[in-house]
Structure 1
Amino acid sequence: MDVEEVAPAAEMRLKPVPKLAMASMVLFEAPPTEKVYYEKELQTVESSFQTDDPEDEAPAETAVVEEEPVVEPEPVPEVPDVRVMDEIEKEIILQSWQFQDFFDRSSKLVERALNSKSDSLVDYTMADEGRKEVNTGRGIKSVCTFSDDRLTKNRSVTDLSWSPRHPELCLASYTKPASSLADQPDGLLLLWNTHVPTRPEFQFHAQSDITTSAFSPFHPTLLLGGTYSGQILIWDTRTKHTPVLKTPLSSNGHTHPVSAMHLVGTQNAHQLVTTSTDGLVCTWTLDMLANPIEVLELAHNPLDATNLRVTNEIAVTCFGFPAGETGTFWVGTEEGAVYQANRYDRAGAKAGINPMESYTGHDAVITGLDFHPLNVQSPHDFSDLFLTSSADWTVRLWRARSPTKQATSTTPSHRVIQSLHVFEEANDFVWDVKWSPVHPAVFGCVDGSGRFSVYDLNMDVEVPSASVMLEDGKAGNKLAWEAAGQIVGVGVSDGSVQVYDVGELGKPRAGQEEFVAFQRTLGEFSGSHGGASRY
């Protein structure tokens, strides 16, 4: 063996053994770091991951997150000190027109909502939800009374009408108070609401007694009125108290009290026709009241030898136009007769009173005249029928004849037309009469004894089908039907307006039964007078 090969092996066996030594150690005990685990459903909004996929309904996975840093809340801003107004500043705000207008409108809305049995958010002008409880019987039921001791005391109602657009609104005009007060106007026009009967919705003033009033059917915010001084006034519900237009006090228009008015024509072409107690008929356009566009004086023919009168003047108390007619009208007079008149000259007839005919029967002043409304659902035309009321305690039914030619040397100079029927159940002067707007055979009337009566000619032609005495037994001055034909307003001499529900009396039967029955009733009237019936 070679010496060089043996030497490395011997050297490896001869390595020194490591020496061990003692060492000291210091131990510290520390708790382990806490690990926080959050479920997935706690990290998100519950509704943000809602889905209909069934795979998403698997159990939520857990995840390890670190501790969130603490967010310090934002400092709350300091609220400045509120300045308290003194009494002078409060009074200035309370007296300002902006605050009074806001308070007036808001209080009416709140009061209307509290008095209404329906949802105050429903548009009750487009439906019947806002009405009072409906009367389902054939009797007359009291609904409410419009009265205000401060405004209507010692006054009398002169005219009454219902809004054609808003069925809950009723317009009433009043005379000058018996005991004049410094803060009360002579003429008063109040707009009442059946949902707020305790106070008027609007009030308007005039310098003279308002003798007649009406809504404008073509302008829902305009109110029309005639006065004792002869002025024609127009109010707007968007303004306060005073008229927006009025005629001047001059000889160009009326100089006597305005007795009646009618708005004739269509939406695009209409005119206001008024008449006064001196027989003057004036025609106006609503946008210009400085001068009438037409003036017509009604008078008797002085050459008529059959009329033994001291004067030829005609004192008009009321007048009316048949439905759809604008040129021919009928007038009631203080002498108790009714005359047909023309606004314009026509073939064979001149403008003015027709001297060939007079509707004679009443023995006292005529207080009301109303033509039968035109019903588009009826197969029969009753628009030539009209009613008159009088201070002779009667109501009469007439049929208007077609305008005839003026008298000539070969024709009779005068012809008396008799009424179709006389209703004599009144206990006093009959102050007004009106047809129902929906039932062909129903009309109502009021008299001086305080009796409100409703007649249904298809049921009985002699006595009223229902009647009621007004509250406190005061005389009824005016009568007005609401467009639906079930609510009736009665103007009273003590200044109140009493509202009644006539129930089933105001509702015609389904189909054409009521019209056919009324046609048969009119045939009996014509036969009893010996004349041929056109019905």
Structure 2
Amino acid sequence: MIASEPEWTTPSSEAPNDEPSTLPTLTSSSIEVYTLPPRPKVVYDKSIQTSIDLFPSSAPQTDVASSSISTTTGGAGRETAEELRARIIAELEAERKQLDAEIAEEKRLAEEQLEAERARGLSGEKLSSVFANPAFVDFLEHSSKVVQRALSDSYDYLRDYTIATDASREEEEGKRAKMRLLGTWQDQQWGQRRSVTGVDWSPKFPELFVASYNKNPMAVNEPDGIAAVWNLHLLERPEFVFHAQSDILSIAFSPFHPNLVVGGTYSGQILLWDTRSRHSNPVLKTPLSASGHTHPVYSLSHVGTQNAHSLVSASTDGVVCTWTLDMLARPQETLELVHPAHNKTDEVSVTALGFPLGETTTFWCATEEGNVYASNRYDRAGAKAGLVQSEIYRGHSGPVTGIDFHPVEGSVDLSDLFLTCGVDWTVKLWRAGGALGGPSAGKAGGATKSKTSSSSAGGANAIAPLLSFEEADDYVFDVKWHPLHPAVFGTVDGAGKFDLWNLNTDTEARSLSFSCPKLALTLPRPSQVPIISTAVGESSPAASRPLGGGSGRRGLNKLAWERKEGRRAAIGSSDGKVYVYELSQDLVTPREGEWDQMRKTCNAALAAQQQHA
């Protein structure tokens, strides 16, 4: 295009002469014109992927490629599909080999760098940050416990089952090993210079047991009270460690909540720990106030069912409290046990507490004065809450250290039988009932009610024990019925001996000692000896040991039976160790006729009391 020229216009001749002529306004403009070539059209087909002319910078490579193409295609400029496929596969294989070589080289360099870092180690700051991480600490704690459980397992993983064994020899060794020591559990950090004050087995996990400890007088910076949950497959350290601000005197797993552990302390507090908690301190505890206990708590007992249960505790000032585990701020019930016939004070110093099987309202308490009293938690028909003043179970000449009711259900009702032990070196078998008419009164072994009581000062009837066992060499600190066998029980004493008794063994030659309440003496009878007497800590138990043979051994404080199988017994000692013994199956499995035999034993004891009353 060409820019237009300006046009000149002349005034019209027809315009009137009197009007002035007007000059036109002129403007200039310029226009730029571009010519764009058309876009080339590129066409592709199956043989040709790119055009060499489009990549002029890679001329040498394209020349070689074009020459190879022309060579392979016979000068036609195109290659067949098979040739193209083979060339692409070759190129991909070369790229793969090169990539593999690069990856291998990177791996080698990374390994060399890692080895150099390992040899150099972490710096102090990094190491501190790693150990301060809670996740790492939890992982290390859990994983190390798992490894230690596997290492502590006594199973022979290398046993060769193709080698024949001497069956008769193994059978003879099994008969000899009536009782064997499984192991000794003691925490080197927390268990030094402490005594075991309580032992209890887990109701859900048969390999777990808990032990409580008193104060270490040489460690002022450590907690006064310690509770440790041990595992049979872990010897070196406990599964859980709980702390308390006062000496723990009693400990028990909750039978209704297997993760909860309850302890009674010297200060009077009741503490509740949870194994699911990450902290060693109690999750709940009772206040130090007059609304609860203010004296040492030596006895705890769980009563009730899964849907309605409570905790009963007793302290040495005669106060019995009932608690719910979900609220320990105040006790549900408080009962003060008093006896007006006492000379200096009417308080009853409770050292042990026992409930008959299935009973929740009536209990028996052992005292420091040596007597055992029946008590009611509530007012009943003809009886008020508190001590039953008309009944006194007399037999011990010193403080009673333990009491345990018969726990086994069977063809014969033995729930009204209970055992006590004391510092007078004796263990005594009693029958609950008398004027109280306690649980299953008069049904012990199917025996009829006999004259086993005598009147004492204040009009109270003094009930004598059925049997007395006087084979101990020292204070007897604890006694427990076996959880499955109706006639078996165990005792531990200050001489370091663990004795196992069976009331149905050899009734003609066993050692019974019948107490005569009127003559206040022990009649000469064949003396009862335990079926097994073990010096705890030694590898081989003996049937009997001479008097004084346990010199140098530490005293044994507590005994607890594993509830499910009844083959294991945990024994706490005064040197902070817990010994676990395993009994042979024939010792703890009741045979046919054991219940009838126990009934006959109780009948014989009752007849002897009636004859010499």
Aligned residues: 441
Query: 1:405 Cα shift?
Result: 8.2
CA-atom RMSD in angstroms: 2.4
Q: Aligned partner of 1:157: which letter?
A: V
Whether 2:154 is the aligned partner of 1:154: answer no
What TM-score, normalized by structure 2, do the two folds share? 0.69
Secondary structure of 2:325's match? coil
Name the structure 2 match of 1:4: none
Query: 1:292 Cα shift?
Result: 0.4
Is the contact between residue 183 and residue 579 of structure 2 (CA under 8 Å) also seen in structure 1?
yes
- Of stretches 448-457 and 85-94 in structure 1, the one that deviates more from structure 2 is 85-94
Question: 1:199–1:352: structure 2 CA closer, same or farther, 3 Å change rule?
Answer: same
Provide the rounded CA distance (Å) in 1 between the counterparts of 2:586 and 2:191.
31
Provide the rounded CA distance (Å) in 2 between the counterparts of 1:244 and 1:119.
41
Question: 1:451–1:283: structure 2 CA closer, same or farther, 3 Å change rule?
Answer: same
Whether 2:298 is the aligned partner of 1:294: answer no
Query: 1:421 Cα shift?
Result: 0.4
Question: 1:421–1:163: structure 2 CA closer, same or farther, 3 Å change rule?
Answer: same
Is the contact between residue 390 and residue 435 of structure 2 (CA under 8 Å) also seen in structure 1?
no
Secondary structure of 1:494's match? coil
Whether 2:184 is the aligned partner of 1:145: answer yes
Name the structure 2 match of 1:125: none
Name the structure 1 match of 2:402: 368
Secondary structure of 1:319's match? strand
Query: 1:413 Cα shift?
Result: 3.0
Secondary structure of 1:473's match? coil
Name the structure 2 match of 1:198: 236
Larger radius of gyration: 2
Query: 1:202 Cα shift?
Result: 1.0
Structure showing the higher helix proportion among its residues? 2
Name the structure 1 match of 2:534: 468
Alignment of 1:348-427 (within 5 A): 348-375=382-409, 378-401=410-433, 404=436, 413-427=459-473
Alignment of 1:281-360 (within 5 A): 281-300=320-339, 302=340, 307=341, 309-360=343-394
Name the structure 1 match of 2:245: 207
Is the contact between residue 156 and residue 492 of structure 1 (CA under 8 Å) also seen in structure 2?
yes
Provide the rounded CA distance (Å) in 2 between the counterparts of 1:235 and 1:531.
52
Provide the rounded CA distance (Å) in 2 between the counterparts of 1:216 and 1:194.
19
Which ranges in structure 1 are unaligned for 5 or more consecutive residues? 1-65, 121-133, 407-411
| 2:256 corresponds to which of 200, 207, 218 | 218
Name the structure 2 match of 1:88: 125
Name the structure 1 match of 2:503: 457
Provide the rounded CA distance (Å) in 2 between the counterparts of 1:458 and 1:363.
27
Name the structure 2 match of 1:269: 308
Is the contact between residue 349 and residue 405 of structure 1 (CA under 8 Å) also seen in structure 2?
no
Provide the rounded CA distance (Å) in 1 between the counterparts of 2:583 and 2:226.
29
Provide the rounded CA distance (Å) in 1 between the counterparts of 2:325 and 2:435.
29
Provide the rounded CA distance (Å) in 1 between the counterparts of 2:437 and 2:386.
12
Provide the rounded CA distance (Å) in 2 between the counterparts of 1:135 and 1:174.
35
Deviations along 1:28-56, one digit per CA (max 9) or x if unpaired, are xxxxxxxxxxxxxxxxxxxxxxxxxxxxx
Is the contact between residue 445 and residue 453 of structure 1 (CA under 8 Å) also seen in structure 2?
yes
Provide the rounded CA distance (Å) in 2 between the counterparts of 1:135 and 1:254.
49
Query: 1:315 Cα shift?
Result: 0.3
Question: 1:531–1:286: structure 2 CA closer, same or farther, 3 Å change rule?
Answer: farther
Query: 1:475 Cα shift?
Result: 0.5
Name the structure 1 match of 2:271: 233
Secondary structure of 1:214's match? strand
Alignment of 1:446-525 (within 5 A): 446-459=492-505, 460-461=510-511, 462-471=528-537, 473-483=553-563, 484-504=565-585, 506-510=587-591, 512-525=592-605
What TM-score, normalized by structure 1, do the two folds share? 0.78
Provide the rounded CA distance (Å) in 1 between the counterparts of 2:419 and 2:437.
24
Provide the rounded CA distance (Å) in 1 between the counterparts of 2:586 and 2:426.
22
Provide the rounded CA distance (Å) in 1 between the counterparts of 2:379 and 2:611.
30
Name the structure 1 match of 2:484: 438
Question: 1:504–1:392: structure 2 CA closer, same or farther, 3 Å change rule?
Answer: same
Q: Aligned partner of 2:188: which letter?
A: D
Q: Aligned partner of 1:458: which letter?
A: N
Which ranges in structure 2 are unaligned for 5 or more consecutive residues? 1-84, 158-172, 439-457, 512-527, 538-551
Provide the rounded CA distance (Å) in 1 between the counterparts of 2:342 and 2:187.
49
Deviations along 1:206-234, one digit per CA (max 9) or x if unpaired, are 00000100001111111100110111100
Paired-residue identity, %: 48
Deviations along 1:146-183, one digit per CA (max 9) or x if unpaired, are 1123211111111111111111111100010131332x
